[in-house]
Amino acid sequence: MLKNKKIILGITGSIAACKAAYLIRALVRKGAEVQVVITPAGKEFITPLTLSTLSRNPVISDFFSNRDGSWHSHVELGLWADAMLIAPATATTIGKMAHGIADNMLVTTYLSCKAPVFIAPAMDLDMFAHPATQQNLSTLRSFGNYIIEPAEGELASRLEGKGRMEEPDRIVEQLENFFTYQNSLQKKKILITAGPTYERIDPVRFIGNYSSGKMGFALAEACARRGAEVTLISGPVSLSAKHPNIRRIDVESAGEMYQAAIEVFPGVHAAILCAAVADYRPEAVMPEKIKRENKEDMTLDLTANKDIAASLGAIRRKGQVLAGFALETTDELINAGSKLRKKNLDFIVLNSLREPGAGFRIDTNKISILDNKGEVTDYPLKSKQEAASDVVDKLITLLK
């Protein structure tokens, strides 16, 4: 999958830069063309001669060639690439990338790059765990960049922990996976529901939930990146969908989400229902703000909303794939399995609120996928972006 792929390899000032030599060799062996861009600090750890010999290309580090003064165009380089990989990526470079501080060739190239970007952090465990680094990584994820999580193990400081750059073979494997699945949803239309719903009580109040929409948006992005045309029906969230293949329909209530989903569903090949839809809404919406008027108690009559997943499950055509989510706090597998059957889904993605790192308003998720053949697959704790890739890979196997 890497044959003839043009890869920019960004190298920064970390002891893990010595692994870049193995990385280049593995990429070149797979048939990739590698162009190294190295930061000034990176050159302290590995020589450009080693890198140019292995990559069979001159190494770029400065804006101008020292020899003839010619300009190295970061714009052209950014457009040339099929992928950019920054390995190792130090906390400094990650910070500069997150904030657009383009004071070297590597970061300017990153800012000009239209291709997918993969970032393999390498640093000491405390630096990696620091909120500044985590926030910067989260910003880069929100730009659509892929973070190749560092491994746990012995670090250059002799401390043990998470921060070791992932091994070159594993990095290459992730790139290969990306290119394998890149166009796997070409010509497919996918519907995704995301976020919470707000059920109006009066002009200023609603019943809602803590869903941030992050998982649904990550799914939309993962499908769009694989070439699908995505319709994303989203409840109220403060997220933006960046990919041009995503058409977004904003709704507020479960009723509006149902209407939009019912209209879109007949025209799609698959739907992933990730929204946290309110099961009930107030029976009557008050036209004016409800006043307290010294009342000690207050009763709100609620009425059931339509179940979007079950409704689509009832009208689905043969060949249309339907997937749902289940967020459970008890008897997780039993509850998720019964939802899968009741709503006539092909598979359901289970996340338990009891798992640390899973649930609402965070960037990670720990999922299990249960399918209608009774198969259960457990996945480790991952970023929502990576978890979304796992869900979409499962969808692809069913669309085939």
Give the tokens for residue 148. Answer: 């190749």
Q: Give yes or no for residue 326 binding ligand CTP (CB under 6 A).
A: yes
What x-and-dash track marks residues 171-200 binding ligand CTP by CB under 6 A?
----------------------x-------
**Sequence-separated (6 or more) residues with CB below 8 Å from residue 144:** 116, 117, 221, 225, 242, 243
Among 44, 76, 279, 331, binds ligand CTP (CB under 6 A): 279
What x-and-dash track marks residues 293-312 binding ligand CTP by CB under 6 A?
------------x-xxx---
Q: Count CA atoms within 13 Å of residue 215 on its CB side.
A: 31
Q: Give yes or no for residue 325 binding ligand CTP (CB under 6 A).
A: yes
Applying CB under 6 A, the span of 74-82, 97-105, 271-279, 376-384 interacting with ligand CTP comes to: 271-279
Question: Among residues 45 and 325, whose Cβ is nearest to ligand CTP?
Answer: 325
* Annotation marks residue 177 as catalytic: no
Q: What is the DSSP letter of 115?
A: S
Ramachandran sector of residue 56 (left: φ over 0; alpha: ψ -120 to 50; beta: rest): left
CB of 312 to ligand CTP, least distance (A): 8
Nearest alpha carbon to residue 299 among 282, 314, 312, 315: 282
Q: Applying CB under 6 A, what is the total number of residues that bind ligand CTP?
A: 15
Nearest alpha carbon to residue 219 among 97, 44, 86, 385: 385
Among 74, 141, 269, 339, binds ligand CTP (CB under 6 A): 339
Applying CB under 6 A, the span of 50-58, 116-124, 202-210, 274-282 interacting with ligand CTP comes to: 274-282
Among residues 209, 335, 344, 372, the one annotated as catalytic is: 209
Question: Among residues 42 and 235, whose Cβ is nearest to ligand CTP?
Answer: 235
Among 324, 350, 386, 392, binds ligand CTP (CB under 6 A): 324
Nearest alpha carbon to residue 372 among 321, 331, 310, 332: 321
Question: Among residues 16 and 257, whose Cβ is nearest to ligand CTP?
Answer: 257
Start-to-end Cα distance in the chain: 20
Question: Among residues 123 and 260, whose Cβ is nearest to ligand CTP?
Answer: 260
* DSSP bridge pairs for 232: 192, 248
Which parts of 125-235 are beta strand (E)?
146-147, 151-154, 160-164, 189-194, 199-202, 205-207, 229-234
Which residues contact ligand CTP by CB under 6 A? 193, 254, 273, 275, 277, 279, 305, 307-309, 324-327, 339
Catalytic residue IDs: 209
